[in-house]
Amino acid sequence: MLNSMNRNIKILFAVFSILFFSLIAYLSYFQLYEKNKLITSSYSVYNKRLIEQEKKILRGSIYDRNGNVLAKSTIVNGEQIRQYLDGVPFADIIGYSRRIYQQGSTGIENTYDRELLGMINTDPMTFLRETVLGKSQVGDDVVLTVDKRLQDLAYGLLGGRKGAVVALDPKTGAVLALASSPSYDPNTLGENWSSVMNSPDHVVLNRATQGLYPPGSIFKIITASAALTYKPDIYNQTFNDIGYVTVDGNKITNYDNIAYGTIGFQKAFYVSSNTSFVKIGLQLGRSNLEAMANKYGLNDSVPFDIPVEKNQFPSIPLINGKVQLAESSIGQGKILVTPLTMALMASAPANGGVIMKPYLMDYVKNPVTGEILEKTTPEKYLNPITKDVADKIKQLMIGVVQQGTGTAAQIPGITVAGKTGTAENPHGQAHAWFVGFAPADDPKIVVSVIIENGGAGGATAAPIAREIMKAYLGY
């Protein structure tokens, strides 16, 4: 009987040992591979309880570059309320938090969720244990690069029209404004969820980063870059501009069918001659134009704090691709880009040929001690052109504003460089574009503006860019 008892004890010990080591193995696996997924995953069945616990954490605040509060949490009658103090103009940047609406999260609220929950230096398992036990916790604050004053101005200048404004520092990539219109009020999103999400104006679409548009004539910056890089002799050529050019039976005209006569490369850029740039593109050939477009990132999705739609520059066919090459040379055809990408394109000639990686988060700080916990370091993103080519493109862009299609962007006392665009749109009136920077001799701000169905870029988009640059530079 004693032997039988010992045998049972050994079996029981073996079973418990197996269970114990299985538990250890699972916890080790969870700690190494699954813990972050549990803590930071989107709203889901297995994470609902955790989300309920997270409501006990006072979510960190979001500030602009000058210390203005953009979003904060307060406790009202025992419930955490998220307030968006400049709601509509910033809605597409800051987004909304699932912790409040339990409908998913977007924007900065989503990207920096861990930071706003105070989880940068906290082990996720410790975080889970403390929240379950009811220990009070305060999230960290996120400080953005955006200037509230500039953002409000940009949104106001759009005037309810569909469009976007992007402003950034070409030397660092810091985004100064990122406005999309029309927008929505995140403070009333809960009660207006259905109407906002199903709006015919697509108010939740961030047109600055997710809107895809034909670039029109602002793309001539890239065509000119390719010409100066791969076939520099084109710069000294003259072109007979009769107002249109025919390519394989397809007629391509200048804006308003204007004929400029005999003009050189510079004048063709200033007045945005489609016929001349079609001829330039045909001389370049598909491989050179494609190569430069790729150098500018036109087949990439820009790395950024919030989602960016991928640009589209379809490959030009080797056979029967002449018309597509001609259209691509002037930013038409099948090319689609975001306003953010066009701001980055314009920053190349503004920054000696280098495009810096754009960013929105300046730093994360502890709300109590002020300690900087995370900080973004500026870094190079692309280098599509040499400094010599960049300087020549800059001079061409100065000419556009001084004596070409962009005179509405002039600022007294400041040299402004820019390029207008009037992008043909199969669904209505042309889209109005302008990209530019100032001061041209030491650029501090690059601006990209698009107004959907706005017509001529020089008349509609350029004045908006002018006001943004004036405000930032203090004029």
In this prediction, residue 111 has a pLDDT band, given cuts at 50, 70 and 90, of very high
Residue 421 covered by a domain: yes
Give the pTM: 0.87
Question: What is the structure's pLDDT at 20?
Answer: 67
Mean pLDDT confidence for 240-269: 93
pLDDT of residue 313: 94
What does the block give as tokens for 63? Answer: 């500030």
Return the CATH number at 349.
3.40.710.10
Confidence of residue 44 (pLDDT cuts 50, 70, 90): very low
131 domain residue, yes or no: no
Is residue 388 a part of any domain in this protein?
Answer: yes
Count up the domains in the chain and report the number: 1
* 414 three-class SS: strand
Q: Classify residue 289: in a domain, yes or no.
A: yes
9-13, 149-153, 240-244: lowest mean pLDDT where? Answer: 9-13
> Largest Cα–Cα distance of the chain, in whole Å?
114
Q: What pLDDT is stored for residue 475 in this prediction?
A: 84
Mention every residue, 6+ apart, whose C-beta is less than 8 A from residue 254: 241, 243, 244, 260, 272, 273, 274, 275
User: Between these two residues, 452 and 130, which has the higher pLDDT value?
Assistant: 452
Provide mean pLDDT across the span 150-158. Answer: 98
Q: Is residue 19 part of a domain?
A: no
Residues that are catalytic = 217
Taking all residues of the chain, what is their mean pLDDT, rounded to a whole number?
89
**pLDDT band per the 50, 70, 90 thresholds, residue 42:** very low
Domain for residue 125, yes or no? Answer: no
Whether 105 is covered by a domain: the verdict is no
Q: Tell me whether strands 137-138 and 57-58 are parallel, antiparallel or unpaired.
A: parallel
pLDDT of residue 428: 83
The DSSP call for residue 301 is P
Q: Is residue 55 over pLDDT 90?
A: no
In the numeric block, which tokens belong to residue 425? Answer: 């749109």
pLDDT, tens only, 167-220 = 999 999 999 999 999 999 999 988 888 899 999 999 999 999 999 999 999 999
Residue 265 lies in a domain: yes
Q: What is the dihedral of CA 131, 133, 138, 142, to 10 degrees?
A: -10
Is the pLDDT confidence value at 130 over 90? no
Q: Residue 355 has which token pair?
A: 């495009």
Range of the domain at 160: 151-183+199-359+380-473
pLDDT tens readout for residues 321-339: 899 999 999 999 999 999 9
For the chain, percent of residues with pLDDT exceeding 70? 84
